[in-house]
Amino acid sequence: MRIDVVTIFPEYLDPLRAALLGRAIDRGLIEVGVHDLRGWTHDVHRAVDDAPYGGGPGMVMKPQIWGAALDDVCAEGSRLVVPTPAGRPFDQALAHAYAEEEHLVFACGRYEGIDQRVIDDAARRMPVDEVSIGDYVLVGGEAAVLVMVEAVVRLLPGVLGNPASAEQDSFSAFSGGLLEGPSYTRPEVWRDMAVPDVLRSGNHALIDRWRRDESLERTALRRPDLIAALPEDSLDAHDRAV
Ligand code: 6GU
């Protein structure tokens, strides 16, 4: 997979070369390019934005510069991702879809946005998603790109040291649409708090049942929206009693 990022803050993307992602680059599993949008400006001020048509606060990023940048960075087979708080939600399903792509291009705008014609024009040639990483507003898309790239790259074959960790996604974090319950390791007692007895019982049916109950309880408390979204038949008689 190749990943390109276009931004006015290229140094913000330096963490892409650290830790897990850096190892994936060193091992040839991904190629990463970070590009300074101002490299496509021609004026002495290297201006990338202008006042919005129709008035209002903030500035809008100019189409000519973005158009030239995307013409150079995108190619046959690219998928363009535009981070914006006005986008569709980025979730684990979208991370899996992106992990199948050969070339992802992220176009980071400031939050007032990029002239919409840049996105509409790109969509004439390639798949384009405007995506949000949550219901809050960031100054620009850079931090969102770090989040999304990490979620995608960890799914690529060979990136995680222990392949069971990626597999484990299917029964942790959002398994069956539920949040993961609590985890414990040694010592058995720490600051007067003991590990739940059931986890030391060796009875795996009982442990599975306990873990599911913990997941249900935690999800009901923290993410009632996920409980409401469960398929009708996904709760059994015992679950309903919890
Ligand atoms: Cl993807 N970008 C910006 N600028 N703000 C956001 C966001 C993205 N997701 C949530 N807030």
ipTM of the complex: 0.92
Instruction: Choose between 117 and 170: higher pLDDT.
Output: 117
Beta bridge partners of 3: 32, 104
Q: What is the best residue among 90, 94, 131, 138 to mutate for testing ligand 1's pocket, by most ligand atoms within 8 Å of CB?
A: 138
3-7, 142-146, 164-168, 231-235 — which is least confidently predicted? 164-168
> Among 154, 209, 218, 223, which one carries the catalytic annotation?
154
Select the CATH number that applies to the domain covering 169-241 from these four: 1.10.1840.10, 1.10.20.10, 1.10.1270.20, 2.120.10.70.
1.10.1270.20
Instruction: Give the pTM.
Output: 0.92
Q: Is 79 a catalytic residue?
A: no
- Respond yes or no: is residue 85 known to be catalytic: yes
Pair type for strands 60-61 and 49-50: antiparallel
Residue range 7-15: mean pLDDT, rounded: 96
Asked if CATH classification 2.70.170.10 holds for the domain at 2-153, the reply, yes or no, is: no
Q: Please check the confidence at residue 171 and state whether its pLDDT lies above 80.
A: no
Tens of pLDDT along 35-92? 999 999 999 999 999 999 999 999 999 999 999 999 999 999 999 999 999 999 999 9
Domain residue ranges of the chain, discontinuous segments joined by +: 2-153, 169-241
Q: What pLDDT band is residue 233 in, cutting at 50, 70 and 90? A: confident
> Ligand 1 — pocket residues by CB below 6 A?
83-85, 87, 111, 131-134, 136-138, 140-141, 144
Would you tell me the crossing angle of helices 142-153 and 92-99 to the nearest 10 degrees?
70
pLDDT at 165: 62
- CA pair distance 134, 144, nearest whole angstrom: 9
Residue nearest to atom 5 of ligand 1 (CA): 138
Residue 181 pLDDT class (50, 70, 90 cuts): very high
Looking at ligand 1, which atom is closest to the CA of residue 145? 1
What's the one-letter identity of residue 74?
C
Residue 154 annotated as catalytic: yes
Ligand 1 centre to CA of 162 (Å) is 31
Judge contact between 34 and 73, C-beta under 8 A.
no
